[in-house]
């Protein structure tokens, strides 16, 4: 069983950490930002003052925080992870951040003698709790093999995509697909309801055909019921689409549908919905249509 530092026990991170505990691993948590969750500590996790102390105690150090600046802070602040790692240790960033910044972070960590993996996840809070996350990994094969039992405690579809940064690139691609699927489901249900059909029955009919998808199953139900507690917040999906669009500019690509989905998310944010689940995208479309599929 491994000694694992886990930094970032929020909506996604906490159930991921719990699944590592259930698999028998020992957790070390940092209290540099917030107190360690009491239930993790009660189950045997050890709370320490800062990321450096966590890195000194653990063989693997997992980071699961919202965005690129937070990852950089955890890794390279005074009392950060980089100050506590060295040969034989593996730093695993499971956040969703910039592929370009990831390559820079990896080189700095590897200069200490430690290995670095970027391993962002997909599957949301449901997948985090059920240990069914898809995990997209960038980094050297040896570090990946060492970390694989940890990934298997948290997820099901685990793929080493390539070198450092490639895991994050795969996650950005994932977020493009998810956003466009959410928008497609939202537009379809809005069209059906405005045309006088019961959107719940339309969803039921579509589930058995080629239009069937996990998004239609899970997020379509959220749209119909109006349950937009996150989940995965719109603000975080906006962050991921910003990575896609800025990367596309660097590559000379046009991603028109991604840009459109981002604009609808921005409409939701303007309505006060930055904290809604990303299935709440439908509320931006409803606002523009002056029509609500739930009859609210």
Residues annotated as catalytic are 171
Number of other residues whose CB lies within 10 A of the CB of residue 124: 20
Cβ pair 16, 151 in contact under 8 A = no
Three-state DSSP class for 227? coil
Q: What angle do CA 97, 155, 64 make, to 5 degrees?
A: 30
CA-CA distances (angstroms) from residue 172 to 160, 221, 242?
A: 15, 25, 9
For residue 252, count CB atoms less than 10 angstroms from its CB and return exposed for 0-12, middle for 13-18, buried for 19 or more.
Answer: exposed
| Backbone phi, psi, residue 264, to 5° | -70, -40
């Amino acid at each position: 069983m491994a000694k694992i530092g886990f930094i970032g026990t929020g909506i996604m991170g906490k159930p991921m950490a719990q699944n590592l505990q259930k698999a028998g691993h020992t957790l070390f948590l940092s209290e540099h930002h917030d107190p360690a969750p009491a239930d993790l500590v009660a189950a045997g996790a050890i709370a320490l003052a800062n990321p450096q102390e966590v890195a000194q105690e653990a063989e693997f150090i997992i980071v699961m925080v919202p965005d690129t600046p937070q990852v950089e802070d955890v890794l390279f602040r005074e009392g950060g992870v980089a100050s506590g790692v060295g040969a034989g240790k593996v730093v695993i960033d499971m956040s969703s951040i910039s592929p370009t910044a990831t390559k820079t972070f990896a080189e700095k960590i590897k200069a200490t003698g430690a290995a670095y993996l970027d391993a962002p996840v997909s599957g949301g809070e449901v997948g985090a709790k059920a240990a069914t996350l898809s995990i997209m990994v960038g980094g050297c094969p040896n570090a990946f093999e060492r970390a694989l039992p940890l990934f298997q405690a948290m997820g099901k579809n685990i793929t080493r995509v390539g070198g450092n940064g490639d895991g994050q690139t795969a996650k950005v691609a994932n977020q493009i697909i998810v956003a466009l699927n959410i928008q497609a489901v939202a537009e379809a249900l809005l069209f059906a309801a405005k045309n006088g059909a019961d959107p719940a029955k339309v969803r039921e009919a579509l589930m058995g055909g080629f239009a069937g998808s996990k998004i239609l199953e899970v997020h379509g139900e959220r749209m119909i019921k109006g349950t937009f507690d996150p989940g995965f917040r719109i603000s975080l999906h906006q962050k991921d689409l910003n990575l896609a669009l800025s990367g596309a500019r660097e590559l000379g690509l046009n991603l028109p549908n991604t840009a459109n989905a981002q604009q609808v998310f921005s409409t939701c944010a303007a309505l006060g919905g930055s904290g809604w689940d990303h299935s709440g995208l439908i509320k931006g479309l409803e606002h523009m249509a002056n029509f609500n599929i739930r009859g609210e």
